[in-house]
Structure 1
Amino acid sequence: MKLVANITNYVFDGKFKCLSRFSLVGISNTIIDFIIFTIFQGLIGVNYTISQVLGYSFGVVNSFIFNKKWTFQGGKSNKKIYNELFQFIIVNIISLAITVIFMKLLVKDFRLNVYLAKILVTFIAQITNFIAYKLWIFN
């Protein structure tokens, strides 16, 4: 039990603190995103592009709250919260545009299942977001 506590402490408070916390927040964002996406696209029948925007938006709200308060809490940012929020929104609009473009490409041109395409574009968004959050928003 002590070994698990030591590993957990090392991962979430040690060298990998920022990345591991970002990953955990990302998992929660993804779960929220997929639930909303599935409700709108799968159950209600809304177009997958609109469902992507809705799901992604719900995940973004969760992301801002937890990344600001927990993941990047140690940042030395002197920015006002509205400046961080503005930057966060800009990054996520760009990230959303990237995911919608790639999703359409994967679904229409490569005839990939919409849920598999969703998984792939989620990974693209996570890489883009982590770099932007770490270097620009919460630094």
Structure 2
Amino acid sequence: MSRSHWKMVAAQFIKFNLIGLLNTAIDFLIFTLLIWFGTYYLLAQLLAYSAGMINSLVLNNRYTFGKGEAASKHSLDLKMSGRFLVWNSILLGISLLLLATLTNWWGMEAVLAKALVTVTTVGLNFYGSKKWVFVSKEPQVE
């Protein structure tokens, strides 16, 4: 693979993670608030993850994976949105399983367990997003 390809992948990874930081902030804020208000932690995870997921779909489609200005002129592609939903549902399932394992079986505090689960799923999310969710037949813009 060429050097320019690796530069593009590195730039995408940086954008993906910057957007991911925002998604994570949204996710953690909502999760923490819901826990503080007494919401069951798995329901809190579902709601908080969903809010971050919506933000991720919009911003990664527009800025990370080569859609650029074209994304602002067109609605989200239905097929891509479906792949996004499937992939993030899989990641949500993994995160719920890990969260339940860390809190119920290992006795870890919910917010700390959430932090560990988040670190675990970041790499999986980038790989799946790049290779399957946001694939396009159009050339990517660097």
TM-score, normalised by the number of residues in structure 1: 0.82
Q: CA deviation at 1:124?
A: 2.0
Q: Tell me which of 59, 67, 70 is aligned to 2:63.
A: 70
What's the counterpart of residue 25 of structure 1? 19
Paired amino acid for 1:50: L
Matching residue of 2:31: 37
- Range 119-128 or range 61-70, more displaced: 119-128
> Which residue in the other structure is 2:111 paired with?
115
Give yes or no for contact 2:61–2:67 (8 Å, CA) kept in 1: no
Matched residue, 1:49: 42
Q: How many residues align?
A: 122
**Equivalent in the alignment of 2:128:** 132
| Whole-angstrom distance in 1 between the partners of 2:112 and 2:31 | 13
Give a deviation string over 1:89-115, Cα, whole Å, max 9, x none: 000000000000000000011111111
2:59 counterpart letter in structure 1:
F
2:97 pairs with one of 101, 105, 111: 101
The 8 Å contact of residues 19 and 60 in structure 2, kept in 1 or not, is answered as yes
Q: Structure 1's 107 and 73: CA in aligned 2 closer, same or farther, altered over 3 A?
A: same
Could you list the runs of 5+ residues in structure 2 that have no partner in the other structure? Answer: 1-6, 69-75, 136-142
Compute the RMSD of aligned alpha carbons.
Answer: 1.7
Amino acid across the alignment from 1:53: L
Segments of 4+ in structure 1 off by > 3 A?
Answer: none
Greater relative contact order structure (CA < 8 Å, 6+ sep): 2
Identity of aligned residues (%): 34
